[in-house]
Amino acid sequence: NAGVTQTPKFQVLKTGQSMTLQCAQDMNHNSMYWYRQDPGMGLRLIYYSASEGTTDKGEVPNGYNVSRLNKREFSLRLESAAPSQTSVYFCASSKSGSGSYEQYFGPGTRLTVT
């Protein structure tokens, strides 16, 4: 079991360029999440997908789009990168249901926008 995997690990973009961050999980989880983490701050939720076929905005969705491609994969797209999007991006997944479940995190993508 690889758990949650993310690609790429590192990326440098110029302002205005676009890119897609990929995330996949092999734990058969229904819910998936994208976070960003800036220095000195905790993780902030960008978008989440409670189940296949649904996506919802989190705390900081502006400048991002997501696609829940299937149960395993959840991608994050930056259409026109800005320096304010320089951050470390984490994907996570969890079980879903009426209970409360921990989230499992991928290794992160460090993105720099110049």
Partner 1 sequence: EDKVVQSPLSLVVHEGDTVTLNCSYEVTNFRSLLWYKQEKKAPTFLFMLTSSGIEKKSGRLSSILDKKELSSILNITATQTGDSAIYLCAQNHGAGNMLTFGGGTRLMVKP
Binding residues (CB under 8 A) for partner 1: these are 4, 31, 33, 35, 40-45, 48, 50, 56, 58-59, 90, 94-96, 100-108
> Closest CB to partner 1 among 31 and 87?
31
Q: How far is the CB of 24 from partner 1 (least distance, A)?
A: 14
Q: How far is the CB of 84 from partner 1 (least distance, A)?
A: 18
Helix (H) or strand (E) holding 1: none
